[in-house]
Amino acid sequence: MEDNTIAIREPPIKNSGVIGGNFLRRQVIKKPDGSQYKAKDMHTGNIVNFLSHKFELLNADEYSYHLMENDERTFPFSNFNLIYDMLTKKTDELGKYFVTEYRGDGKIDMDGLSQCCKSIGLNFNKQQVLTLWRKIDKKGKGRIGFIKIIKMASDDLLNAHVG
């Protein structure tokens, strides 16, 4: 991030013939439109084009997620307050989704949350869903009760959830 350079290393894959190593040495990379890739372009779900090779960014390490969630200007898709504001505007639709469309056991996972958001008109990208999920599933259980989402969205006390 300090100098906007990018390096790509391919991990070795056991018993596959892929020995891994450097794919791209650390350098400044330009987008197809000629502008330079910046830190804000590096978010989960984004497809980047490095030297005519397309890469989908699948995930990041915990340190990177923490950094993104604490730098709202550089990483707007990790801005929980913005995501929360959009969610609270859809509280009624959220409740209706779980009454009319949801078919499950009362719990939802991150993919289910993504589907729910799309269904109620919140076109969140993968990073936004992940940011929301990380706030909801703080213990990392992988599934949470949908009531927790409804309660969070209808609660006016944002500080009770952000802390």
Supply the pLDDT for residue 102.
86
Which residues, in sequence order, are bridge partners of residue 47?
56
Both tokens of 9, joined, read 């290393």
Within-domain flag for 90: yes
Number of domains in the chain: 2
The answer on 97 and 24 residing in a single domain is no
User: What CATH number does residue 93 fall under?
Assistant: 1.10.238
End-to-end Cα separation, the chain, in angstroms: 27
The answer on 35 and 90 residing in a single domain is no
Three-state secondary structure call for residue 108: strand
Angstrom distance (rounded) from CA 64 to CA 39:
11
Supply the pLDDT for residue 157.
43
Supply the pLDDT for residue 127.
97
Within-domain flag for 74: no
Domain that holds residue 27: 6-56
Supply the pLDDT for residue 109.
94
Supply the pLDDT for residue 61.
92
**pLDDT tens track, the chain, 163 positions:** 889 899 988 888 888 887 888 889 999 999 999 999 999 999 999 999 998 899 999 999 999 999 999 998 999 999 999 999 999 999 999 989 988 888 888 899 999 999 999 999 999 999 999 999 999 998 899 999 988 888 888 875 444 444 4
The answer on 83 and 129 residing in a single domain is yes
